[in-house]
Structure 1
Amino acid sequence: MAQINSCIKWTFTVFNVFFAIFGAIVILIPLLSQVYIRDDMEGRTTGLVVLYVVGAVTLVIAVLGAYGAHRENKVCLILFLVCMVIGTLMMLRIGIVAAFFRPKLTEIMSDKFKELLPLDTATEEVKNMADAMQSQLHCCGLFSYSDWENNVPDSCVCSSMEVEEGMCQSLTYLSLYPRKQIYSKPCFPILMRFILVVADIMTGLVFSLATLALLGMILSSIMIHQLRHPARTTVLMVPSIFTTGPPKYQELQNPPVY
């Protein structure tokens, strides 16, 4: 005999379906980034692994909760509840810290990039990274082309079409002729827009997971309570004043005499 309310069971099942879809989306994000971004992924390995782990754990927990509700298995539901409590606390902690540092992220990244200047005397790894960024984002220097001092690389040079589109500026050295057309925009503002978008997406994912975990914690607690205290058939004792019984008196009639 079913001990869990059918409405709660179906609500919990739908919740776990959405929970599983959310986990699949978390797995899909790094997968698509690896498919469509074919440049060097070495510096992004840690972030991709974290997303894969979070997505896989989310899927496993969703399956555990759905199985526990379908079979009315108290052990599975208790494990699910423990995972939801831990997940809620972890996601809230990460989300609050991320939201706190969000306004300071530009300043922090600016200080980190300023440590790499000047670019012409930086390491070969930094130069290669800067060249790749300038070629892809169509910019020159981190904060200005002067970050390269007097050694502006070819990755800053505009094409003739870009010159016509007004994306460039003239650069003239004291002993250089003709003029060199380089990108007018620095790379740091463009790069920060991408970083802030990614940070906002990650923060939204974290708070969404926290909300789902909190909802799962509430539903699983209700079902565990119903399994521990199953509904019992309640017998209503009807007072005697509402019961039908013999009348308090009977009308007596004398039989007719013939």
Structure 2
Amino acid sequence: MGKVNVCLKRSYITVTILIAILSALLLAVTLFLHGHVHKHEEIDTMLPGIFSTYGITIIPLILAIIGVYGACKEKKWALILFVVGMILGSLFLITSVILGLAERPQDAEQTKRNFLQMLPLNNASQSTIDGLKEIQIQFQCCGLDQGYLDWGDNIPQSCVCSPEATNPCVEDPRNSSLSEYTMIYKEPCVPYVIAFKMMVLDTALGILLGIALLWILSVALCIFILCRLSKKDEIPVVVYTTEAKAGNYRPLADAAELA
């Protein structure tokens, strides 16, 4: 069994410990979110994503512990298990990123359709209207598709421009329920909501890609360690000859001359 370079071993252990720390932090965040949304109305649609997050946090955490043990004790079976598990995990993350990028346009279109189904707002439920009012305040917008026109004459107070507004505002119609010369948000909310959702999606995909690259780096370092452990140290060969046993030598001077 060959001797592993100290710098190589320390680099692998450092990267693997970093993976373990990130996995533990993501696991804590997942537990918090699961507890926060467990009474949510749409919990059934969230569970597959939550369980997937559990998988990509718990499994790497266990593999990282095994990998550190294998590097410290120079156990090949532990390092091989780490390599196989991390390669499969990296392939899963990279596939998820590719699928997420491929489904990005469809996701944006589906979000738009879901919001437009709320129209006309005069017939929307009170819970839908309350949710839309919060969106209007958060994104500084009014209405869904055609701006304040979606509200008809009953423009809510959440459409009124705040003093710190950064989005464009216009004067409200004279026949609205608001007071005269009130400035309201001009733009509809759907484009802002879609842009925000795409930003969150891109951020999540970027994080997954970064984690995958970190896993690939750990796999490469682990493979180098395995190759070094599999390499046999070269031991100098000792050669014995018959001449050495017979004492093949000659005197430096004649015995008669020494007398």
CA 1:41–1:110 in structure 2 vs 1: closer, same or farther (change >3 Å)? Answer: same
SS of equivalent to 2:184? strand
Equivalent residue, structure 1, for 2:194: 192
How do 1:216-235 residues align onto structure 2 when only pairs under 5 Å count?
Answer: 216-227=218-229, 229-235=230-236
C-alpha distance in 2, partners of 1:177/1:57? 56
Alignment of 1:146 onto 2:122: no
Aligned length in residues:
249
Letter in 2 for 1:195: K
Q: TM-score, normalised by structure 2?
A: 0.72
C-alpha distance in 1, partners of 2:231/2:72? 16
C-alpha distance in 1, partners of 2:217/2:176? 69
Equivalent residue, structure 1, for 2:72: 70
Letter in 2 for 1:59: L
How do 1:9-20 residues align onto structure 2 when only pairs under 5 Å count?
Answer: 9-20=9-20
SS of equivalent to 1:142? coil
Deviation at 1:246, TM superposition (A): 7.1
Deviation at 1:201, TM superposition (A): 1.3
Q: TM-score, normalised by structure 1?
A: 0.72
Deviation at 1:66, TM superposition (A): 0.8
Moved more, 91-100 or 112-121: 112-121
C-alpha distance in 1, partners of 2:228/2:159? 68
C-alpha distance in 1, partners of 2:148/2:75? 65
Q: Percent identity?
A: 29
Say what the alpha-carbon RMSD is for the aligned residues.
4.2
SS of equivalent to 1:117? coil
CA 1:74–1:168 in structure 2 vs 1: closer, same or farther (change >3 Å)? Answer: same
C-alpha distance in 1, partners of 2:71/2:197? 41
SS of equivalent to 1:203? helix
8 Å contact from structure 2 (residues 153, 175) kept in 1: no
Equivalent residue, structure 2, for 1:101: 103
Per-residue CA distance 1:90-148 (angstroms, 9 max, x = gap): 01110111223345554443233223322332334422321221233332112322223
C-alpha distance in 2, partners of 1:50/1:147? 39
How do 1:1-258 residues align onto structure 2 when only pairs under 5 Å count?
Answer: 4-27=4-27, 46=47, 50-51=52-53, 53-102=55-104, 105-143=107-145, 144-158=147-161, 161=163, 168-172=169-173, 174=175, 178-179=179-180, 181-227=183-229, 229-235=230-236
Deviation at 1:85, TM superposition (A): 1.9
8 Å contact from structure 2 (residues 172, 178) kept in 1: no
Gaps of at least 5 residues in structure 2 are: 242-246
C-alpha distance in 2, partners of 1:96/1:221? 26
C-alpha distance in 2, partners of 1:115/1:237? 87
